[in-house]
Structure formats: C-alpha cells, structure tokens
Amino acid sequence: MKKPSPQSLEKMLDELFEIMPELKKNKSDWKNFIVKFIESRPNDKIDAKFKRALHEEILGKIAQQKSAEKPSRRKNLWIGSLWFLGGAAVTAVAVVPMLDSPEILEMQKTETVADATPISAKNPAIFSGESEENLDEVAAVSLEKTMENLAVVNIAESADNAFGTVKKTASNAGISSDAAYGRGGGMRMESSIAPMPGLGGRTNVDYIFDGELPDFAEKINVFKKMSDATVRPSFKNQIEKLGMGRVDLTTFENLEIQNVSLAENVDELGFFMNVDFQTGSIDINANYEQWHPPCFGEACYQPIPMSELPEDRTIIRWAEIFLAEHKVSTENFGKPIIQKYWEHLKTSPLPEYVPETMRVVFPYLIGDDTAISQWGEPFGMNVQVNLKKERGSGLYLASLNLQSSRYTALSNEEVLEMAKTGGSDGVRYSNPQKTIEIKLINPEIKLTQITIWNDTGKMVEFFVPTLIFKTEIPENTQFYVPQQIVVPLAKDLFAN
Amino acid sequence: MDESIFIKNCQRGNLEDFSPLYEKYAQKIFAFVLHKTFDRETAEDLTSQIFLKTLEKIESYNFQKSQFSTWLYSIARNCVIDHFRTQHFEKNIDDIWDLNSGDDARKCAEKSLNFESLQKSMKKLKPAQREILTMRFWQDLSYAEIAEITDQSEANVRMIVSRSVRAMKKDFLAFLLFSLIF
C-alpha cells in the first residue's frame, strides 16, 4: 500500500501532539505507528470497468430524466421566431402569411441576428480570443444557452392549400431506385419503359383492400420544407481575423460564414465535425484512424457475430449517453429506432455478422407525429453507435424548418382508388395485356417525407400524412411486388 | 474548475455537469464504503446507490450548510447504515472487525500482515473510534470534515483520535514486532 507523503504524515503528527503534547517525546514511535496504520489500508482501488459502467448508468439516468421532462407542447409554432447557432434572441411577430420568396424571410432573419445580444456577459463567445469587454459586439452566446433556445423543428402556419398543386415531372422517375418497380416517382409507364420484371408482358397490378380504413380528419396538415431557411450567425467582427493577417477580408462585401470544420485535438477516439449554417446541420464523425488504428494480420479482423449483437435497449442507451454527454436535446424527436438493414431487406437466413457501427435514428416529431422517409424508414437525427467500443461514434442532426398548410383529405373511395393503381408510386400501362390482383393489408397513417421535382425542375420536400398499406405477397411469387403502397392523403397536392 | 460551478449547474437542471463531480469523488466514496463493508461487490452496489441518490438529491444541497464533500460522505454513511439494517445483517456494521478468518475482510486486505495486526488492535476500540480512525488515516479526511460527517464537534473528534491511537499503539506494534521476528 502507498506510504503517506511526508507532509501528510507531519500534519497528522502535529494534530496528535496538539491535543496530547506528552506524546511528542516519542515522535518516532508515533510516526512509525501512523505509517503502519496507513499501510495496512486494504486495496480499495475502484475497478475501472465498474467505474465506467456506473458513469454510463448515471448518464443514462440523466438522459431519461431529460426525456421525461419534455415540455407538453410538441409543436413549435414558428411565428417569425429565429433559429441560429450563434444567437439567442427569439423575436415573436404576428402570424406570417405564406411568403413565396424565401429570400424575404432570409432578410428578416439576418437583420434580427445582428441585433441579438448575449444572454450573459460571462458566457464565452463562440470564437475564442474575445475579451469580455468585446462580448457585446459579438452576436454570440454560450452554446449551452443557445441549445436551450434552439428548436430543431420549426413550423410556420400558412393558409389552407397554400402550396397549391405541385406538378411532378417525368424526371421524378429517377429519384428512387425503386421507381421502375413502383416505389417512387408516380410515373405512368409507356411502351418505352421496360415491363415489370417477371410479369411477362404488359401487365397491370390492381391492389385491392377490402378491410376497414383507419379514421382521419377531413382537413389534414401538410408540411413543406423551406429552402435555405437557416439563419447565419453574424460574425462581422471576426471576419477580419480569419484573413490571418495575409488578406484583408473586410475588403469583400457581405461575407458570411457558411460552414465550419472542427477537429478534436486528442490522443484517442477523437471526432471531426462540420457545422453547416446553410442547412442548419451538424455532422460529427469519428476520427477513423483513432477509432480504427492500423492493424495487420488476421487477428485484427474480428467481426461481431449476430449472436453477440447487444440488446436494442443497450444500443439505444449508448446513443442516449452520447447525446447526453454532448448536451444534445431529444426534444422534437420521437422514440429512437435502431436501423437493422437485414430486417428492411428481409434477408433469409440472417447474416452471420453485424456491422461494427449501427445507426440509431431519433425520428423528427412534426406536430404530434414522427416522420418516416419516403422509403419507409425513420427520418430524423442519426446517432452512430460503435458496438465494439460500446459508445456513440457519430451524429447527424439537421434543422427542419417547415411551413404547414391544411389540405382537404381524400375520401375513403378516393384512397382506395389511388391504392388500387399503386398509390403515389403507381406504375400503370395504358394498354395492358393483362391485369392481376394483389391484396393490401394493415393500413397505417404515417407522416411521410415525399421529395419530388416540380415542373420548374426544383426539388421540393413535403411531409404528408399518408396511408401506407402492406402488400400480401403470394407465396412462390415469381415477380417483384412492392412491400407497401403509399397513398398521400392530401387532395389536390400532387398532380401528375 | 471550482466544483461549486458544476453543482450549481446541476441544480439549474444541467445534470450533465454531474459527471465531473462523479469523476472527482468516485474513488473516494468507493474506498469509504469498502472500508466499512470489506466486500467489493457490496461496496460497488452501495457506491452506485450513493451516486444515484446524490444525483436525485443534488437540488436540495445547501452551500451554506456544509461542504459538498461532507454532504456526499454523509449520504454514503447513511447508505451503508441502511444497507446493514435492511440486510438484517447478523453482525452489524460495527462488528465487521470481528469477522473470522476466511472472511471478506481478510481477502479484501489481500491477507496483508499489517491488516491482521491492525484488526486485532481495532477490535478493542469502540465503533465510533474505529470509524473515525479509518476516516482520518485511510481516507485522509480532516477533523473538520469528519466532525461534519459524523455530526459531532471537531474537538470531540480530535480527542477520539488521540485516545484511540494511544490505546492501539501498544498492541499493534507489539504484534508487528512479533510477526517480524518469527
């Protein structure tokens, strides 16, 4: 056992002699005694693995508490409020009618950014080197306070049918690899397009549902992603320094910092990150060389067998701990989901090994619903988890600035008619040689991301309540059948 | 950085700042508990309970009443006492020093010669004396801290230490000398 330091020993002796001065005459005996006493201390070093596990448990508890304390409001009404990384002022204005020009919105936000002041003079500016006296000149506040004010999902309400009817172009066929197989694009097949594999000739498929549809409202909210809606922080006073004394950057006009790349200066398990102010995204990736140091020989290749895949709750907890460690709020997100590619592809048998890194998706909460991508996968904040290191190893988080508008929903008859022809991804021959039937089952309403190119060639992204039907694929079927049929419920939103 | 900043942040709801507090005190609290239980598994369980309880109660910590360390040690001490009560332990916390050979205490002490000698001497002391000695010499807590944790005056704590040391010295060193010779 460790001996006491001389200073510590002297202090203990002095304390003893202070109370009982008569002991001082045998100082060496008492010194020896205290040394032996201290040396008899049992091995009380805490086990490193236990210490780390307890720390993780504590962080998990913190993450749970934060989730439980989520405020009751889920919909963030963005009524002219601001979101940006460097500022904290939230300006409320009257409800804004839908503006056609994102540029107008951008101008408003930029002006208000310049007026923002730090919440606390003691909070450091994002760019170091600023003295406290200069803080008032910098439109920056502590990241912690910013995150408290930052909403990832912002929604501005607009008038009914505000987006009009969006006409899709034929180029939509190229969006998804499944477009030719009825999973994207909403295109009508003509003779120039190859027939559906395995059906033999020009065959149409009628998708039939004979059950009961779930209830939905007569008017539904459709959300449109606003383009280029992220506010840039104002770093006017910092621009000069970025020239490193070699170029006077102030001689250029209206410079904006569009993105920042950062790297952790650590010896192991470091991260690279990119903050993009244009898209409002933060992309954090493991420093590959530190996470996977060079290794040679077969012993270095140790894949994880499927049988050793940790439980879902363990993987999710590692993701939550990573978020808690880096103060990432899970407000605006629904229950996390682990992406297991083998479930999506329905591979059989199961793969022998699992990837070292898996993705946990925290789907966006838009209004009261979680969003799914147009391919049926959860859509939101992605956390990478390294199964060997048992911790988070990356994060992608982007803001979602939306406008909402109410549209009349399809009637039940209209839903079934659209489903019959393959939904929004329907692929039909105008002169089929034959028509076959596929049964639809288990309809569910989900808020689905739908990305299309409009007739001006511009990509537009919507989140639309959709009815998703599963297809009942016949046994021994020799041709491709899509796993689901998607019917957007908003009437008059899309036109072919 | 001053720990009070982390504590205040925790009290404001930024519980992520509990991590540096945990890092600072994990070893000390574990050692404190192990010195009372002489069982690693029990010490780990109790250490977990202590920190989770501290996390729950940190809002109630009052800077004016005590230092954070003594407040934490008090929670730890109470957890250990509760553990022995709820376990209906036949031998209570004070009798740990009476454990026979083959017991966890000896294993924990890695069968150290010094520990055996110490054990004999410590058995003769009162429980309060043993507790205070281990807190002073093994955990290097000051008399002021010990006083706060055990809820008595500092003068009393100093007196207990001095008398205990005197009572132990004779037996402890004699046994040590005997063991060295033979």
Token pair of A2 as six digits: 């460790």
Q: Tell me, yes or no, if A29 comes closer than 8 A to chain B by beta carbon.
A: yes
Residue-wise pLDDT for A241-271, tens only, equals 788 888 888 888 878 788 889 999 888 889 9
**pLDDT reading at A381 higher than 90:** yes
**pLDDT reading at A396 higher than 90:** yes
Reported as a pLDDT band with limits 50, 70 and 90, residue A233 is low
**For B125-150, what is the mean pLDDT?**
88
pLDDT reported for residue A188: 38
**pLDDT reading at B147 higher than 60:** yes
A48-68 and B18-37 are packed helices; what angle lies between their axes, rounded to 10 degrees? Answer: 130
**For A470-488, what is the mean pLDDT?**
79
Residue-wise pLDDT for A321-379, tens only, equals 999 888 888 888 989 999 887 665 555 667 778 888 899 999 998 888 888 887 778 88
Q: Which residue has the tokens 């990736």?
A: A285
Domain boundaries of chain A, sorted by first residue: 6-39, 76-151, 166-226+404-495
Residue A459 and residue A452 in contact, taking contact as beta carbons nearer than 8 Å? yes
pLDDT reported for residue A13: 86
Of B44, B118, B172, the CB nearest to A50: B44
Reported as a pLDDT band with limits 50, 70 and 90, residue A416 is very high
Residue A157 and residue A77 in contact, taking contact as beta carbons nearer than 8 Å? yes
> What mean pLDDT, rounded, does chain A reach?
73
pLDDT reported for residue A474: 77
Out of A49-53, A199-203, A457-461, give the one with best mean pLDDT: A49-53
Domains annotated for chain B, with CATH where assigned, are 1-99 (1.10.1740.10), 112-182 (1.10.10.10)
Of A30, A40, A66, the CB nearest to B118: A40
**pLDDT reading at A411 higher than 90:** yes
Reported as a pLDDT band with limits 50, 70 and 90, residue B175 is low
Reported as a pLDDT band with limits 50, 70 and 90, residue B33 is very high
- Chain B residue with Cα closest to A328: B16
Cis peptide bond N-terminal to A349, omega within 30 = yes
**pLDDT reading at A310 higher than 80:** yes
In this predicted complex, what is the ipTM?
0.84
Q: Which of A119-123, A202-206, B51-55, B79-83 has the lowest mean pLDDT?
A: A119-123
Of A40, A54, A144, the CB nearest to B51: A54
- Chain B residue with Cα closest to A327: B16
Question: Could A19 and B159 be called an inter-chain contact, meaning their C-beta atoms sit closer than 8 Å?
Answer: yes
Question: Could A30 and B169 be called an inter-chain contact, meaning their C-beta atoms sit closer than 8 Å?
Answer: yes
Question: Could B35 and A42 be called an inter-chain contact, meaning their C-beta atoms sit closer than 8 Å?
Answer: yes
**pLDDT reading at B51 higher than 90:** yes
Cα–Cα distance, A226 to A206 (Å, whole number): 36
Q: Tell me, yes or no, if A64 comes closer than 8 A to chain B by beta carbon.
A: no
**pLDDT reading at B36 higher than 70:** yes
Q: Write the single-letter amino acid at A255.
A: L
Token pair of A409 as six digits: 């929903």
Distance from CA of A17 to the nearest CA of B (A): 9
Q: Write the single-letter amino acid at A218.
A: E
pLDDT reported for residue A141: 38
Whole-Å CA distances, A386 to A117, A310, A322: 40, 11, 11
Distance from CA of B54 to the nearest CA of A (A): 10
**For A490-495, what is the mean pLDDT?**
85
**For A383-405, what is the mean pLDDT?**
90
pLDDT reported for residue A144: 37
Of B31, B55, B115, the CB nearest to A40: B115
